[in-house]
Structure 1
């Protein structure tokens, strides 16, 4: 970004910041929680930019003074000192400009900010392989929950559908933590393939099964406005835990967003109202993801890899039990500690994917 264009853009942000500073303290805004949260979010972001811009201006003023000395001062020692200081100031300016690159981005690059989100929705579904795929969903669920524990994150199950014998056909989780929850988990979207000898296999043959993982950033209601008239609501009896309650009331909820045809089910809570709230939360995240993918296609952003596209049809990883190996096909990296990996030690692979993504953008 050229310096003149950068300053012009920063001046626009500075003006917007002071306008928001005035409006955010108005009683009419404070009383409107939805608008207040929206403005507060903008204010916090712009405050970082404006603070950095003030520091940037100070360095530019100092550079002008140094250039004046170098041009007009006849003192040799003073010129030598100014020359040394100029080098330091130019380095500082370059460092600040790199910071601006991380803070400022065009609308075409907005998707990068989602990495900092502190909440995500993770959906696991069995694919090819029948009962073995359902068992692998359970194994991957355990792997993730152990990873969440190591990361200091919390999670809760929103929806679960048991498999025919054991395991799960489908399970949906909501994860909360510090910044970067989505930025780490987004790499898990895709097809996870397992190669192992099933317990039911009498002849010791290795079978291949697969499951799909989908990861969405959890979004707030101010980010996705859902018109309730666009939603079809169905209720049914839960098939999950709950004892006699399961058979007596239709507490489970199924929501269908008519415009996008996205369907969400939730049955983990005992009350229909709570299940509805959770289903709306998942629906909002899926609609957001859907719109994001449309936007990326529309502006023709071409990535050099499939690392963070979230494409669930792409085979991303193979878990080979006989060889104690897990391989990520996007970066052609294998780790020969499958038992450790399945016990939640997946951060090393995620870090490699982050590094590859950074180089590929």
Structure 2
């Protein structure tokens, strides 16, 4: 493992040199690729250097233990460094965990009302607002792609795009079945109802990820319907794409441009097909339940929003907060940190039987 750390530091130094190379500076695509990798490695290399310095300082302090004038100060320094080294090792373990290559991609989010009628549609609209606001607070850009509104302002289904580096890595934890328990506005007798909505979070697939055969596609255009402005509703801009091999249908009508709607519909289709492939692979691997955090299991109840007790519970990790109003307003930061930690712990546990990442052999 020490050799691996040295190799990573050398890679970082090599990247640093390459980014100053005029040949690289003149190639924007290569410069961006190297810059991205350089930025990704920054915290890891800083921690590696801090870890190496701690061991160097430890050896130096131990060498002074037999000096009568320095022994007491050296002893205190040895104790302090020995406390700090395990903390650095734990941090390195997390930083060295393999990263999902899809985490940096943009995201397509699809929300559908489940059981509960109009109340489920209203809840689906709240989930849309919650996730979009959280995404905006994280610095991402959002764009509605398609929406089916109900009479009371709910949504039977809605899809939107979240654009920004790392969007999938952040929002993948929202995938699954969300459940709400409350007295609906339409309930005359004050009874608590349980309704659900399903959230699918898909990394945005590009043409290189999923190749579509034009012969497999049936594309139709029509006049957009529903709210969207006079320009949208008076032009044949709505696009529907049928993928014949799977029977999958995608529609997009939010833009006045038929071309843009077609591009967005094909992007959604590619993302769905990529997610289908990933789900099939995950089913074959039969990963444990916690491994499904972020995997987009649509049938799994992941979270309950209980209004009578102002409580939100994430069932995957047993996390509960009474900040119901804040969560629905987009404050998902504490919840997502807990999910991320649980995911990291699962990954660490999964590799526990393999060669450990820890570097304690130097101190042993």
- Give the TM-score, by structure 1 length: 0.71
Q: Which stretch has the larger CA shift, 337-346 or 305-314?
A: 337-346
Counterpart of 1:89 (choices 74, 81, 88) is 81
CA displacement, residues 195-222 of structure 1 (integer Å, 9 cap, x when unaligned): 4555556666655432211224557x59
Matched, 1:49 2:44: yes
Q: Quick one: distance in 1 between partners of 2:137 and 2:170?
A: 13
CA displacement, residues 304-357 of structure 1 (integer Å, 9 cap, x when unaligned): 475444311012334455666555444556666756654555556555555655
CA displacement, residues 215-263 of structure 1 (integer Å, 9 cap, x when unaligned): 24557x59x64435477362422334242643432442537496x8765
Match of 2:219 in 1: 234
Flag structure 1 segments of 5+ consecutive residues without an equivalent.
1-5
Q: Quick one: distance in 2 between partners of 1:26 and 1:253?
A: 48
CA-atom RMSD, angstroms?
4.3
Q: Quick one: distance in 2 between partners of 1:60 and 1:332?
A: 38
Q: Quick one: distance in 2 between partners of 1:65 and 1:336?
A: 50
CA displacement, residues 94-146 of structure 1 (integer Å, 9 cap, x when unaligned): 333233222212xxx423993xx596432211223344432332233344455
Q: Quick one: distance in 2 between partners of 1:336 and 1:88?
A: 39
Matched, 1:188 2:171: no
Match of 2:126 in 1: 139
Counterpart of 1:269 (choices 239, 255, 258) is 255
- Asked if the contact 1:318–1:326 (Cα under 8 Å) also holds between the matched residues in 2, the reply is yes
| Matched position secondary structure for 2:225 | coil
Match of 2:100 in 1: 111
Flag structure 2 segments of 5+ consecutive residues without an equivalent.
348-364
| Matched position secondary structure for 1:77 | coil
Q: Quick one: distance in 1 between partners of 2:269 and 2:75?
A: 60
| Change in CA separation of 1:187 and 1:7 when aligned onto 2, cut-off 3 Å | same
Q: Quick one: distance in 2 between partners of 1:51 and 1:332?
A: 34
Counterpart of 1:302 (choices 272, 281, 288) is 288
Counterpart of 1:126 (choices 92, 97, 113) is 113
Match of 1:314 in 2: 300
Equivalences, count: 344
Match of 1:12 in 2: 7
Matched, 1:101 2:93: yes
User: How far apart are 1:302 and its partner, in Å?
Assistant: 3.0
- Asked if the contact 1:131–1:166 (Cα under 8 Å) also holds between the matched residues in 2, the reply is no
| Matched position secondary structure for 1:137 | helix
- Give the TM-score, by structure 2 length: 0.71
